[in-house]
Amino acid sequence: MNLGAILQAINLGLLWSIMAIGVFITFRILNFADLTVEGSFVLGAAVVARLITLNLDPALAAWIPLIATLAAVLIGVLAGLITGFLHTVLKIPPLLSGILTMTGLFSINLRIMGMANINLGRGITTLMDQAAGGLSNVTTGITGLFGGSAVDVVSRDASIAVGLVFVIIVIMALKLFFNTEIGYVIRATGDNEAMVKAQGVSTNRTKMLGLALGNGCVALSGALVAQTQGFADVNMGMGTIVTGLAAVIIGEVIFRDKNSHRVFIAVVFGAILFFIIRAFVLSIPWMNANDFRGITAIVIAIALAIPMFREKFNFRLKKAAFGSKEVE
């Protein structure tokens, strides 16, 4: 596996880690098995692709990619609220609520795009293109001071920079939010819903807010991935929940302190490591892209088994140490 493949894995890992953070919010913090992410990921991609290709007011041309990305986040929040409504108001179980919303979003995504996929290739300016142009100007200006020639920043490197910026913004915003009173209530709802109700707090509202927050992150990830890949497809969300869970589980294995805000950083590293592992396995001559799902299943199984092996190893070390003391 060459350096280019590693950088591409880091690029995808950063962008998909925002989706994994959204999965972590619903799955771990809120303790809600939410399958809405399979649809809200595509929803974010569909909204951003449709808005970018509409050729709106030329005066806003430079701002359209950013506006479209923010609009995708807001629509993702709405998708989370729909799942919350189905669960809290209509009393539909969490798993079925997510499945219903995910199923409905398939048709909504087709309506938004007007077709099965939208190409964001030549002639379409995305955030990644703007970042590549801006970074090229900066690096060219710096090298020009020392007599160097112009430097062109490739789309992949610009995408890494954009992904890193958005990851930092999301983590900082979530850290601030979960340190507020409502943030603590959301965490308490996932830990002990009965206790929160006993304090006179409406858990229905906290669940809806948590689902909205999580799916907003997922839609943001979908919008950024679409702009990086150069297209939005109605089927690009298949397996999203599995990828998100893989990143969460790998991250939790790296950082075992689940009560710390460092866990968001752990999820980011988990996503990056997952894509590096996938790229490494797919670089083996007799492997191909059709083995992706099998590779994902194996990676998750190994990540889930690591704590068990770690516990057994620590137990043997303690047993050996205790036995040596008896001998003395």
In the three-class reduction of DSSP (H, G, I as helix; E, B as strand; rest coil), residue 104 is classed as helix
State percent of the chain over pLDDT 90. Answer: 53
Question: Can you tell me the mean pLDDT for 205-221?
Answer: 96
Torsion, Cα of 97, 100, 103, 108 (10° steps): -90
Are 19 and 221 in contact, with CB atoms under 8 Å apart?
Answer: yes
Confidence of residue 323 (pLDDT cuts 50, 70, 90): low
What pLDDT shows up at residue 324? 55
Residues 6+ apart with CB under 8 A from 7: 156, 157, 160
10 Å Cβ neighbour count for 143? 13
Distance, CA of 42 to CA of 301 (rounded, Å) = 26
Among 239, 241, 238, 248, smallest CA distance to 303 is for 248
Are 189 and 165 in contact, with CB atoms under 8 Å apart?
Answer: no
Enumerate the domain spans of the chain. 3-240
Confidence of residue 328 (pLDDT cuts 50, 70, 90): low
Give residue-wise pLDDT tens across range 140-165: 777 766 666 666 677 888 899 999 99
Distance, CA of 247 to CA of 238 (rounded, Å) = 16
pTM: 0.90
10 Å Cβ neighbour count for 3? 7
Tokens of 175: 């850290």
Give residue-wise pLDDT tens across range 58-76: 667 788 999 999 999 999 9
What pLDDT shows up at residue 257? 59
Give residue-wise pLDDT tens across range 102-115: 999 999 999 999 99
Q: In sequence order, what E strands does the chain have?
A: 117-119, 231-233
Distance, CA of 22 to CA of 213 (rounded, Å) = 7
pLDDT greater than 70 at residue 315: no
Question: Can you tell me the mean pLDDT for 234-248?
Answer: 89
Give residue-wise pLDDT tens across range 6-40: 889 999 999 999 999 999 999 999 999 899 999 99
Considering 89-103, 230-244, 291-305, the range whose residues carry the highest mean pLDDT is 89-103
What pLDDT shows up at residue 180? 92
In the three-class reduction of DSSP (H, G, I as helix; E, B as strand; rest coil), residue 85 is classed as helix
pLDDT greater than 90 at residue 199: no
Give residue-wise pLDDT tens across range 126-145: 899 888 888 887 777 777 66
